[in-house]
Amino acid sequence: MTAAMAVCLWGCASTPPEFTLTPGSVSAADSVTWPVAPETPRYAYAGELVGEGNFVQRVPKRSTFVRALRAVVGLDEDNGRAKVLMRPQSGMVDATGRILVTDVGRGGVFVFDAKAGELVFWDQADNGAAFVSPLGIAPGPGGEIHVADAELKRVVRLDATGRPVGAYGAGVLERPTGLARDSARGLTYVADTGAHDIKVFDDQRNLVRRLGGPGVEPGRFNRPTFLAMKGDALVVSDTLNARVQVISTDGVPEREIGRRGIYVGNLVRPKGVATDRDGNVYVVEGYHDHLLVFDGRGELLLPIGGTGNGPGKFFLPGGVWSDSADRIFLADVFNGRVVVFRYLGAQP
């Protein structure tokens, strides 16, 4: 094969695909806001992440001949298997704007890179192992990305390109799930669901303390799952105690958010937690398929959701996270997507 043909197989287009939050059947007409009129809107539906459908090539498609040649020489990834989310769990937005989503159905991390116009999939953990049950994800020191794998029972460290560079927590963690990064103190908090506690590691991967333990008293947990930072405090989804706890970084209980109940706004199986610039706390209520918005004092402001697959509807949602652009991301697990909202602020 000539060098010219090899170059042509990569495609003659000079521009990368464009990233969009409205793939496939999702259209701008689907956009809705919460709360509904005539109340002042606080949130707008922005679209969703599904996989390679979020990238649109604005040039003519390759010919059948070129696509066949690419397949022959092995340039097409996954042997034609579509890169799509299956069971997304949690995510983060890194310093470069990439959206990273863990997916237990695919056993890895999807990286949506809008600037490069590409979707990348990372499936390698440390020591030559593959991810089995990647759940929590958080930034680490020096541009690293840390992924908690519940089945591997450790937190895997990846560099910015997805290359494994080590791990920590082996032999200490029973079932790591959620992660939160405290960059000011150089600490990473790991929700150890199996041990009913939060384990705290420094940037040298040393275990420095344990927070909580099994129980129903304030500061104790029953199968904690997801975590988020709220200023100098830690927000913990205390899942089987049907509550969210806000504790200090030393484990001192400060506040409980939500209460067990059967009505919208109550908690049965809280999952993901996140915060925004105004101090609001987002709680995914997995049993009732809702995203609940609380203020900093723990008062319910707004429920978004209900069972379904339309804009603002969910099916067994999991994690939730936010970014500096006032976007709220929710892992809609059994709909195989991440739903994106835009926070419009607490304007009068």
| Bridge-based pairing state of the strands 99-103 and 164-168 | unpaired
Q: Answer whether residue 60 is part of any domain.
A: yes
Q: What is the pLDDT of residue 16?
A: 85
160-167 LR contacts (CB < 8 Å, sep 24+): 160/94, 162/109, 162/111, 162/120, 162/122, 162/124, 163/124, 164/124, 164/125, 164/126, 164/127, 165/126, 166/126, 166/205, 167/125, 167/126, 167/127
State how far the Cα of 209 lies from the Cα of 218, in Å rounded to an integer. 18
Rounded to two decimals, what is the model's pTM? Answer: 0.90
Q: What is the pLDDT of residue 225?
A: 98
Q: What is the pLDDT of residue 37?
A: 83
Residue 333 is encoded by which pair of tokens?
């697990």
Query: Mean pLDDT over all residues of the chain?
Result: 89
Q: Answer whether residue 286 is part of any domain.
A: yes
Q: Answer whether residue 156 is part of any domain.
A: yes
Residue 85 is encoded by which pair of tokens?
């989310």
Residue type present at position 6: A
Local structure of 239: helix, strand or coil: helix
Nearest Cα neighbor of 297 from 265, 255, 336, 335 is 255
Q: What is the pLDDT of residue 28?
A: 53
Q: Which residues contact 92 (CB under 8 A, 6 or more apart)?
A: 99, 100, 137, 138, 139, 145, 321
Q: What is the pLDDT of residue 73?
A: 40
Q: What is the pLDDT of residue 76?
A: 47
Q: What is the pLDDT of residue 15?
A: 80
Could you give the count of Cα atoms lying within 13 Å of 195 in the half-sphere of its Cβ? 19
The CA-atom distances, in angstroms, between 230 and each of 42, 233, 320, 322 are 20, 5, 14, 12
State how far the Cα of 325 lies from the Cα of 299, in Å rounded to an integer. 24
Q: In this predicted model, which residue has the larger pLDDT, 37 or 188? A: 188
Residue 71 has pLDDT above 60, yes or no: no
Residue 23 has pLDDT above 70, yes or no: yes
Q: Answer whether residue 348 is part of any domain.
A: no
Q: Answer whether residue 17 is part of any domain.
A: yes
H/E run at residue 92? strand 88-93
Cis? peptide before 38, omega within 30° of 0: yes
Please say whether the beta carbons of 23 and 50 come within 8 A. Answer: yes
Q: In the chain, how many domains are there?
A: 1
Residue 292 has pLDDT above 90, yes or no: yes
Q: Other C-beta atoms within 10 Å of 95: how many?
A: 9
Phi, psi of 51 (to 5 degrees): 140, -140
| Bridge-based pairing state of the strands 281-285 and 270-275 | antiparallel
Q: For residue 248, give its domain range.
A: 3-343
State how far the Cα of 58 lies from the Cα of 55, in Å rounded to an integer. 10
Q: What is the pLDDT of residue 60?
A: 53
Q: Answer whether residue 248 is part of any domain.
A: yes
Q: What is the pLDDT of residue 10?
A: 36
Q: Answer whether residue 155 is part of any domain.
A: yes
Average pLDDT over residues 63-85: 55
Q: What is the pLDDT of residue 81?
A: 62
244: domain CATH number is 2.120.10.30
